[in-house]
Amino acid sequence: MTPHRKIKITSTHAPLLAAPSVLALAAVALAVPMAAQAVAAQGDAAGNTPAAGPNPPATAPQPTSTPQDPPQAPVARNPQQPAAPGNRLPEVLVTELPPDEQRQLSEVPIDNPGARARIGPDEMARSTGWSIQSALRRTPGVHIQDETGSDSLPNIAIRGVTNGAEGAWRSINLGMYVDGIPLAPAPYGQPGNSLFPLAMERVYGVDVQRGGGGVRYGPNNVSGVVNFLTRPIPTDPTLVARVRADTFANNSYYTAVGATEGAFGALLEGVYKHGETFRDNGDYTLQNYALKTRYEASSSVRVLAQVETFDDDSNLSDGLSLAAYRANPRQSTAPQNRFRGEQDRVNLKLEWDVDADTRFELITYAFDGNRTFFLGTPTDHANAPLQFVQATPRPIRTAAIQPQVTHVYDLGGATGELHAGVRYLQEDIVRSVRRQFPNGTEQLRSEEQYDYYTGSAWVENALRFDDWTVTPGVRFEYVEIDGRNRANTNAALVGLETTKNFAEALPSLTVARRISDAWGLYAGAQATFAAPQAPQISITNNPQDISAQYAWVYETGSRTRTADGLLGTDLSLFQIEYDDRLVQDPDQFDVFVNAGSSRHRGVELALDSDLTAAGLAGVTLWTTTTYTESTFTNGAFDGNRFAGAPTWLASWGLRYLHEPTGLWIGCDGVYVGEAFSDAENTRAINAAGTRGLRPTYEIWNASIGWDHRFSSQTEVNVLAGARNVFDEDWFEIRSGRGIYPGAPPSYVFQLGVTHRF
């Protein structure tokens, strides 16, 4: 028997030395709560009782926080300084919100300390298409590559931070969440959403935080955080039904039923969708079901729970060669290619308002699922003999527990809010490669297991005085990765194991100033990192020297909004310095190289306007423009642009609502600049369609709808829309897969009914 062998690699960054001024301020500010407690104790000894903020009423539950955002219960004692929790979106929308709280789902506070965008329920309901693209179109800096036409495998990149060698690579450089719970199958070892367990029909609102979230959200969010919010539990017994169809034979059915009775509330949601997309071999069936509950144990204790299941069975049209694309962009030359994925998810949260100024939360969640790609070789196997179908199952289990506390306090004329927490998260990842041959036999090529043991601790202290808010913080991460070979297909690898350890300290500092009720400024600097992922770790006798990827993120910006809504602006400048970039070799599957460092910098501008104050009641318009420069700054690709990172992005929209009748009409569009498909910056598209410069494209959509309330109980919504109305011929190039055509013109129809019993 081959003797047992272990290879151990240890890596520790010391970012604290890189930013002594940040840590000095953090040390001072984080000590403030202890001083405040001492002052309060002296006041108590003198017989003076500090003023206390009110508890939220039990009959009107407040929306809760994201897992690492402060809760909404503790409020600042100084009425001139609103508490930061009001600036944050809830983790689980518990019950229907009054209009003033509904607005926080679509408006970013003037003094929010970072670039951010919110897409509220009204905009989601009137979107031309229930898709990732339509949901995030209003956010500057966001670029999406579609892979399936059914939204099951989104490739999202923010601020030009792509994988480098082949584009967005299923959203590995940003954090994606649903109701504050991570969406990635394994946030550390498999952060890319090769399984995206959320149907967009369930999305009620979206919060896109492009900067300032490192301390709260942890690793793999160097370019930002996207939090999808699902429908709230209704206060009254309510039934929502919606059916949607388009001219590509795609159909979706959404149903939700729920109510709140006394201390208990529940909402059951279901999505069933199927279709053919616009390409051959694009058939799919997707199902997503969820149960959300809330129990008010007392006026100060609440228990929230969600259970979800997701199933995706999709054929994959896959990429085309250049000749095949020119001959017929709707065809598929990969008839055996398909995707199968499923996941069960559960999360539980306990909220305890210890007193008027302190809230304790205990959050735990677990995922259990699997996803498998079945890809034929050669890729163009409809026109060449099929050699085999390669199956890559990835059973993954993830579990986490996270206690955290928020405390609001006074210190002289300032208000402080301390937030601290810890998290233990464990991942169990199996990576198998199997080959299925035309004669019915199967061969196991490799099977490896990766266990991730991670511990996090964070502390953040917001200090508010006059019109300033200064928030230092620091997050500590420890990651241990144990990998071992589970197959006996290679005698030299039997019993081989690999262990890697990473310890990181990630400081952060944000500053915001409210110049007036209509104008705010912000700036920030934060550190973030990404541990090596399971596919980047090689279990061999000569393993690659893979380091953790590490980045500093800087941004500054201005936000304005007039009281009458006539003009709102958000201007931000950003720079991201990224070290030890791990990129996939475009010519070798599952081989990664250290491409050195990179820089991502640019300018984002968002404008929106409600023209009612100008005499055009019901007319709203918006536009965003982003300039991004994403380049390698050393290594083999020094000076080259990143793959899949357009220099220019723009979007726009206009809508008119006739309030008396509920009729509305609108149009929107998006412009995407040219981008390379590989780190070598190949300009000419090769014959395989796997390399080359992707040209610019511009897509326009139009829609018309009717929202009518027949009574206090029944509401009907009708929508008809046209997508790509000018028949733009566009495509994406994916390294190693080929050309992915963009969707031609199509029409969509939707009917929705909401009834309250």
- The residues facing 205 across adjacent strands are 229
Helices (runs of H) and strands (runs of E) counted in the chain: 6, 37
pLDDT-above-70 percentage for the chain: 83
Question: Which of 202-237 are b and which e, b meaning 16 or more Cβ less than 10 Å from the residue's Cβ?
Answer: bbbbbbbbbbbbbbbbbbbbbbbbbbbbbbbbbbee
- pLDDT digit string, tens, across residues 117-152: 999 888 888 876 567 777 888 899 998 887 777 778
How wide is the angle at C-alpha 264 spanned by C-alphas 258 and 269, nearest 5°?
A: 25
- CB–CB of 402/363 below 8 Å? yes
* CA nearest neighbour of 550 among 592, 604, 583, 504: 504
- pLDDT digit string, tens, across residues 449-490: 999 999 999 999 999 999 999 999 999 999 999 999 988 888
The predicted structure's pLDDT at residue 77 = 38
User: What pTM does this model have?
Assistant: 0.87
Q: Is the predicted pLDDT of residue 283 greater than 50, yes or no?
A: yes
- The confidence band for 585, taking pLDDT boundaries of 50, 70 and 90, is low
Alpha carbon separation from 349 to 146, 231, 302, 343 (Å, rounded) = 34, 17, 8, 20
Alpha carbon separation from 609 to 530, 616, 727 (Å, rounded) = 38, 11, 29
- pLDDT digit string, tens, across residues 188-221: 998 888 899 999 999 999 999 987 677 888 788 8
- The confidence band for 74, taking pLDDT boundaries of 50, 70 and 90, is very low
Question: d(Cα 460, Cα 624) in Å, to the nearest integer?
Answer: 31
DSSP of 685-737: PPTTSSSSEEPPEEEEEEEEEEEEESSSSEEEEEEEEEESTT----EEEETTT
The predicted structure's pLDDT at residue 27 = 40
The predicted structure's pLDDT at residue 59 = 34
- The confidence band for 533, taking pLDDT boundaries of 50, 70 and 90, is confident
The predicted structure's pLDDT at residue 596 = 76
* CA nearest neighbour of 124 among 115, 116, 112, 132: 132
Residues 299-327, mean pLDDT to the nearest whole number: 95
- The residues facing 453 across adjacent strands are 426, 480
The predicted structure's pLDDT at residue 30 = 40
- CB–CB of 59/34 below 8 Å? no
Hey, what are 688's tokens?
């395989």
* CA nearest neighbour of 171 among 182, 181, 159, 163: 163
The predicted structure's pLDDT at residue 452 = 96
For the chain, first and last CA: distance in Å?
A: 70
* CA nearest neighbour of 736 among 147, 132, 133, 142: 147
The predicted structure's pLDDT at residue 137 = 81
**Helix, strand, or coil here: 278?**
coil
Higher pLDDT, 98 or 19: 98
The predicted structure's pLDDT at residue 98 = 63
CB atoms within 10 A of CB 119: 24
**Helix, strand, or coil here: 236?**
coil
Mean pLDDT over each residue of the chain, to the nearest integer: 84
Question: d(Cα 562, Cα 455) in Å, to the nearest integer?
Answer: 44
CB atoms within 10 A of CB 100: 7
- pLDDT digit string, tens, across residues 261-278: 999 999 999 999 999 999
Question: d(Cα 409, Cα 41) in Å, to the nearest integer?
Answer: 12
The predicted structure's pLDDT at residue 542 = 56
Residues 511-516, mean pLDDT to the nearest whole number: 96
- pLDDT digit string, tens, across residues 365-407: 999 999 999 999 998 999 899 999 999 999 999 999 999 999 9
Whether the CA torsion 541, 542, 544, 547 is positive or negative: it is: positive
Residues 6+ apart with CB under 8 A from 697: 671, 672, 728, 729, 730, 742
- The confidence band for 591, taking pLDDT boundaries of 50, 70 and 90, is low
Residues 35-56, mean pLDDT to the nearest whole number: 37
Count Cα neighbours of 231 within 13 Å in the Cβ-side half-sphere. 29
The four Cα atoms 424, 19, 192, 202 give a dihedral, to 10 degrees, of 80
The predicted structure's pLDDT at residue 523 = 96
- pLDDT digit string, tens, across residues 547-556: 788 899 999 9
Residues 6+ apart with CB under 8 A from 268: 256, 257, 258, 289, 290, 291, 292
Residues 715-732, mean pLDDT to the nearest whole number: 94
The predicted structure's pLDDT at residue 23 = 34
Residues 6+ apart with CB under 8 A from 6: 497, 498, 499
381: burial class by Cβ within 10 Å (0-12, 13-18, 19+)?
buried
The predicted structure's pLDDT at residue 128 = 60
Question: d(Cα 386, Cα 389) in Å, to the nearest integer?
Answer: 8
Q: Poorest-confidence range of 419-423, 485-489, 629-633?
A: 485-489
Higher pLDDT, 260 or 101: 260
- CB–CB of 533/500 below 8 Å? no
**Helix, strand, or coil here: 737?**
coil
